[in-house]
Amino acid sequence: MIVPGVWTIQRGHQLLERIETELRGVLPNVTVFTHLESLDDPASWNDVTLDRAETHPVDTPAKPQQASDETTGRP
């Protein structure tokens, strides 16, 4: 699943947990594999199969984002 790069890992994980739970509710015998990817990482767009072609690390890290109240839990 590709999510906005400013999302926390916790927020992305919560979304995946909800999706997995809903799938299991409809298909009780299903095995679900999920993987969290950042929308801001170009390598995320190449990760569409289980057998991904070799990728090279990005030379420059993503720009730090100002934490919002939603991600910090501050009022």
| Residue 34 CB partners (closer than 8 Å, separation 6+) | 1, 16, 19, 20
Q: Average pLDDT of 23-48?
A: 87
The pLDDT, as a whole number, for residue 24 is 93
Q: Average pLDDT of 18-27?
A: 95
| Residue 30 CB partners (closer than 8 Å, separation 6+) | 23, 24
Q: In the predicted model, is pLDDT for residue 37 greater than 80? A: yes
The pLDDT, as a whole number, for residue 14 is 96
Place of tokens 């995946």: 16
